[in-house]
């Protein structure tokens, strides 16, 4: 997880065609990631990745 946080902070998952956000919960912290893809394509896509409960 630290590698991903470091890459996101450095802008690795953000450019003109892609954008990435952490999904934060007030009590649980980071619970997932939302990534928009193909923003300049006219038909953007998104990926939603979430954690599992323990």
14-43 pLDDT per residue, tens? 899 999 888 999 998 889 989 999 999 989
1 pLDDT band, cuts 50/70/90, is: low
pLDDT at 13 over 70: yes
How far CA 31 is from CA of 7, 24, 26, 44, 50, in Å, comes to: 17, 6, 10, 23, 6
Backbone φ and ψ of 3, nearest 5°: -60, -45
pLDDT at 34: 93
The reported pTM is: 0.70
pLDDT at 10 over 90: no
């Amino acid at each position: 997880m630290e590698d991903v946080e470091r890459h996101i902070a450095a802008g690795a998952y953000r450019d003109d065609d892609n954008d990435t956000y952490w999904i934060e919960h007030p009590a649980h912290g980071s619970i997932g990631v939302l990534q928009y893809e193909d923003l300049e394509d006219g038909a953007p896509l998104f990926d939603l990745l979430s954690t599992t409960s323990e």
